[in-house]
């Protein structure tokens, strides 16, 4: 898969000065556009559109400083319909407008071209199984929180603390099937997995597809395939490492890709740093392009 990802990046790089068809880029990678965007964000640490903008502004910056084409010519070449739109994108990357940069010969910010490679660390094996589930419903309470890659997610912890005992009891009464008991569900609102990106964060329980509770919200989840990872280690660092490893190590070396759906986590809250067992459910589907890698 890494070879196909790098071919896709080569294709993207060759079209920075024109319109980029992201569906075609994903096709070269052999995955859906949805999975390509999420996998890129996890591997690169930034959303795909941000990388494209930074690469375009890196190359455009050299032309701006060269002083030959007009600023409008540069803007049009890199896909901007007006000088104002180009100036906003330029400033977001370089911290200075293109006109001022040309006049003063300013020092600009460069985004290096990316390529992916597999680093074999030989640390710990990842224990997983593949599960087919019929459609189900998560009933509980949700809050919008930012992603936090390291340490405690204060917003998520505050949401958990805000639940009243009656709501928790009702969730436990409705729980049926896997994952068992009280769990969390993260619904990503964008392709980004960078620090601070917002998700809808649910605390609830898996129930039957038609279960209802007047005092609780409901998240309907269609039937599909799930990769289930068992994990044990210090809370929350072991879980955050697992999430990272699933996207940077497991997906590139297994014939599965992500599909739309919530990421489910069942864990027993403990003191920070204490050992705990957890189970992470990621919605997946077979990678139909894996045989051609």
| Percent above pLDDT 90 for the chain | 39
- Cα–Cα distance, 264 to 267 (Å, whole number): 10
Is pLDDT at 120 greater than 80 in this prediction? no
Is pLDDT at 122 greater than 50 in this prediction? no
What pLDDT does residue 285 have? Answer: 92
Chain-centre distance of CA 279, in angstroms?
A: 19
Mean pLDDT along residues 136-143: 95
What pLDDT does residue 18 have? Answer: 82
Beta bridge partners, 231, equal 278
Is pLDDT at 141 greater than 80 in this prediction? yes
What pLDDT does residue 124 have? Answer: 52
pLDDT in tens, 57-88: 998 888 898 877 889 999 988 888 888 999 99
What pLDDT does residue 291 have? Answer: 44
What pLDDT does residue 290 have? Answer: 52
Q: Which helix (H) or strand (E) holds 107?
A: none
DSSP string of 171-219, one letter each residue: HHHH--SSSPSEEEEEEESSS--STT-EEEEEEEEEE-TT---TTSEEE
| Nearest in space to 243 (alpha carbons), one of 256, 227, 259 | 227
> What residue ranges define each of the domains in the chain, with the CATH number in brackets?
2-104 (1.10.10.60), 127-292 (3.20.80.10)
Is pLDDT at 30 greater than 60 in this prediction? yes
Is pLDDT at 41 greater than 70 in this prediction? yes
User: pLDDT category, 275, cuts 50, 70, 90?
Assistant: confident
Question: What per-residue string of b and e applies to 128-167 under the rule 16 or more CB within 10 Å gives b?
Answer: beeeebeebbbbbbbeebebbeeeebebbeebbeeeeeeb
- Cα–Cα distance, 54 to 114 (Å, whole number): 11
**CB 59, CB 77: distance < 8 Å:** no
Residue 212 neighbours by CB distance under 10 Å = 11
State the sign of the Cα–Cα–Cα–Cα dihedral 66, 71, 77, 80: positive
Q: pTM above the 0.75 mark?
A: no
Half-sphere exposure (CA, 13 Å, Cβ side) for 223?
Answer: 3
What pLDDT does residue 110 have? Answer: 83
pLDDT in tens, 151-201: 788 999 899 899 999 999 999 999 998 999 999 999 988 877 777 889 999
- Cα–Cα distance, 194 to 198 (Å, whole number): 9
Higher pLDDT, 217 or 293: 217
Is pLDDT at 118 greater than 90 in this prediction? no
What pLDDT does residue 106 have? Answer: 82
């Amino acid at each position: 898969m890494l070879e196909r990802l790098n071919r896709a990046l080569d294709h993207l790089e060759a079209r920075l000065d024109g319109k980029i068809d992201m569906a075609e880029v994903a096709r070269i990678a052999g995955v859906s556009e949805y999975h390509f965007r999420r996998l890129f964000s996890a591997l690169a640490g930034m959303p795909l559109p941000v990388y494209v903008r930074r690469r375009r502004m890196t190359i455009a910056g050299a032309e701006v400083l060269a002083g030959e084409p007009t600023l409008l010519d540069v803007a049009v070449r890199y896909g901007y319909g007006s000088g104002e739109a180009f100036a906003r994108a330029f400033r977001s990357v370089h911290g200075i407008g293109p006109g001022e940069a040309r006049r003063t010969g300013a020092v600009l910010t460069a985004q290096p071209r990316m390529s992916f490679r597999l680093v074999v660390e030989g640390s710990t094996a990842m224990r997983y199984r593949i599960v087919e589930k019929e459609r189900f419903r998560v009933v509980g309470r949700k809050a919008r929180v930012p992603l936090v890659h390291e340490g405690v997610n204060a917003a998520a912890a505050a949401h958990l603390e805000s639940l009243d005992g009656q709501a928790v009891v009702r969730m436990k009464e409705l729980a049926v099937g896997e994952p068992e008991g009280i769990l969390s569900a993260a619904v990503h609102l964008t392709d980004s997995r960078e620090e601070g990106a917002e998700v809808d964060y649910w605390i609830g329980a898996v129930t039957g597809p038609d279960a209802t509770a007047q005092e609780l919200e409901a998240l309907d989840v269609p039937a599909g395939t799930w990769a289930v990872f068992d994990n044990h280690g210090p809370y929350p660092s072991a879980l955050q490492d697992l999430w990272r490893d699933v996207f940077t190590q497991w997906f590139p070396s297994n014939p599965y890709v992500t599909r739309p759906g919530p990421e489910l986590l069942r864990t027993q809250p403990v003191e920070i740093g204490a050992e705990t067992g957890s189970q992470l459910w990621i919605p997946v589907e077979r990678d139909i392009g894996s045989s051609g890698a």
